[in-house]
């Protein structure tokens, strides 16, 4: 599998950066090219030039809250053509998908990392989490 398929896209990486997330990553987008952090570090260990983190699904999973309101749990499902990310809870009438506006919130993408990045941006843009 190509590394590009394991990292969130440049577009989503830029949006996460704009939202103020400052978490280190092994991979970085530098001038629209993926590079290992160790290959672009300055003498103090910081990436040189215009660089932004290219998060893996593992790194994004660390940023996403596991639980909301003590009853809504992060849920991830492999689909035939991609991935589904949402928050689920058990209620008297069965399982439902939670969102702050009580709408059905299902984020999907062909890549797990992009689905997770979309959920993270949704939560940040709606002031549901801070990092």
Q: How far apart are CA 114 and CA 9, in angstroms?
A: 7
Q: What is the pTM of this model?
A: 0.84
Beta strand residue intervals within the chain, DSSP E: 27-30, 33-36, 51-53, 67-68, 72-79, 82-91, 94-97, 107-109
- Phi (first) and psi of residue 74, to 5 degrees: -60, 135
Phi, psi of 101 (to 5 degrees): -105, 15
Q: What is the pLDDT of residue 4?
A: 78
Interval 33-61: pLDDT, tens: 777 676 766 655 666 667 889 999 999 99
Tell me, yes or no, whether 131 lies in a domain: no
Q: Residue holding tokens 């996460």? A: 16
Q: What is the pLDDT of residues 70-117, one digit of tens each?
A: 777 888 999 999 999 988 876 645 455 555 555 667 899 999 999 999
Flag whether 19 is in a domain. yes
Indicate the number of domains in the chain.
1
Range of the domain at 106: 3-125
Residue 18 within a domain? yes
In a domain, 130, yes or no: no
Q: Where do we find the tokens 């689920």?
A: 88
């Amino acid at each position: 599998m190509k590394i590009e398929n394991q990292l969130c896209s440049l577009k989503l990486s830029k949006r996460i950066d704009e939202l103020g997330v400052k978490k280190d990553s092994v991979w970085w987008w530098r001038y629209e090219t993926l590079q290992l952090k160790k290959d672009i570090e300055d003498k103090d260990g910081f990436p040189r030039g215009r660089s932004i983190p290219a998060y893996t699904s593992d790194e994004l999973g660390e940023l996403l809250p596991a639980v909301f309101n003590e009853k809504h749990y992060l849920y991830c499902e492999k689909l035939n053509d991609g991935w589904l990310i949402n928050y689920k809870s058990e209620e008297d009438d069965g399982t439902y998908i939670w969102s702050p506006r009580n709408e059905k919130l299902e984020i999907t993408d062909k890549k797990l990392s992009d689905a997770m990045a979309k959920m993270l941006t949704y939560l940040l843009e709606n002031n549901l989490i801070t990092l």
